[in-house]
Amino acid sequence: MKKDIYYRVDRRVQNSVVKYYLMREVNSDSHKFHASKLIKTGMPPTDPEISRAILLYGFDLEMKCCEKVASFRVKNFRYEHEVNEEIYYLLEKYRYLDLRYHDYLTEEEYTRHVNEREYHYIHESAKTVGCMFTFPEVVQMIETGKIPNGKYLHDVNEIQNLYRCVVLRNKNPRKVTLVLVLQIRRIILDNIEEPEPISREKEIAIHKLLNIYYQRLSEGYHPMEQIIALHKNFRNLKPFKIGSKRTIREVVQYLVMPLGYPLTFQSSIQMMQTSAVLDKAHTEKGVSQIIEQYAGNKIPKLEEQLRRKIAERWDLQRNKHQKQLDLYLPTDN
């Protein structure tokens, strides 16, 4: 969330005519991207004229910046496997729209938005192992501490353990290590199964997978490609008799947080489909399929949400005390 939305008014002199442009500026990956639209010529635009311009053109400028940032990021990374640029563009567009949508949320809206995603993830993840909680029951138990009537203790523990993982992740986000992986696994199985001891050989193998992941990131490889590869290799390793899939799903949540990608918002069916892809497909093919499942169907809704938030933010009838935009006055050329 950010209080300052980067619209500016740019004054330019072209052929002795003073022109005023609405500018949308975005900083990403140590680069500045912008898009502009002519508002008027002659006299500076008034506050109502600026707000009207944002209402008319703000979303279009946002989408132009989105295209520039997404395209830049796709080409800026290295890739270990054959690149489907269209799929990676889809992923980066999803990332951009989600971040910009957060810019327009109030503290209360942002908290509600994040909680809804977390609760959805807990609900759908628990369903993959047979938990019978409904989504409202998950929300009720987490927010009130009250256990719904008629629920199995096993299911209650599943929900509580997943929520404890969420609390740990949000309270203390950090680099994923072998110690953290084992901690996540203990939490997931708490009061459900007794974790069997892991062999030193498997510990070394997990440590090596994590080192490869972070090394690839430092070398400029695309993080989502490397997250998917880590996910697949971890599952192939099968380090635990019980809890390997749930553990690596939680690890993935840890990995996407600092990268700006949205937390997974998949149904239990989509999670199982992702599992099937990871089990069967080669990494090169699997990357495209998993990214499409992760991002593809969420973009239209995000676009509509962002369009609505821009309109709400710059509607003078609703925001009568709205702060005036500063005029950006570069040196005339």
Mean pLDDT of the chain: 87
- Banded model confidence at residue 19, pLDDT cuts 50, 70, 90: very high
Q: What is the DSSP string of 265-329?
A: ---HHHHHHHHHHHHHS-HHHHHHHHHHHHHGGGHHHHHHHHHHHHHHHT-TTT-TTPPPPPEE-
Specify the residue for token string 């990357």: 287
Per mean pLDDT, which range of 2-6, 19-23, 49-53, 278-282 is the poorest? 2-6
Is the confidence at residue 278, as pLDDT, over 90? no
Dig out the tokens for 83 from the structure.
Answer: 């690149």
More confident residue, 61 or 4: 61
Res. 322: pLDDT tops 70: no
Task: Note the pLDDT of residue 69.
Answer: 97
pLDDT tens per residue across span 188-232 = 999 998 888 899 999 999 999 999 999 999 999 999 999 999 998
pLDDT band for 294, please (50, 70, 90 cuts): confident
In the chain, where the domains are located: 1-76, 77-84+105-304
Give the pLDDT confidence score for residue 218 in this predicted structure. 96
Q: Compare 265 and 314 and report the one with higher pLDDT.
A: 314
pLDDT at residue 155 greater than cutoff 60: yes
CA–CA distance, 73 with 181 (Å, rounded to integer)? 29
Using one digit for the tens of pLDDT, what is the confidence trace for 247-272? 998 999 899 888 999 887 666 666 76
Which tokens in the block code for residue 188? 């997931």
Residue among 169, 171, 205, 203 at smallest CA distance from 184 = 169
Does residue 289 surpass a pLDDT of 90?
no
Q: pLDDT grade, residue 284 (50/70/90)?
A: low
Closest alpha carbon to 119 in 148, 153, 143: 143
3-state secondary structure of 9: strand
**With a threshold of 0.85, does the pTM exceed it?**
yes
Tally of CB atoms within 10 A around 110: 15
Report d(CA 7, CA 22) in Å as an integer. Answer: 7
pLDDT: which is higher, 240 or 322:
240
d(CA 153, CA 214): 38
Q: Token digits for 191? A: 């009061």
What number does CATH give the domain 77-84+105-304? 1.10.3290.10
pLDDT value, residue 279: 67
Residue 8 and residue 45: Cα distance in Å, rounded?
A: 12
Q: What's the whole-number mean pLDDT along residues 309-316? A: 81
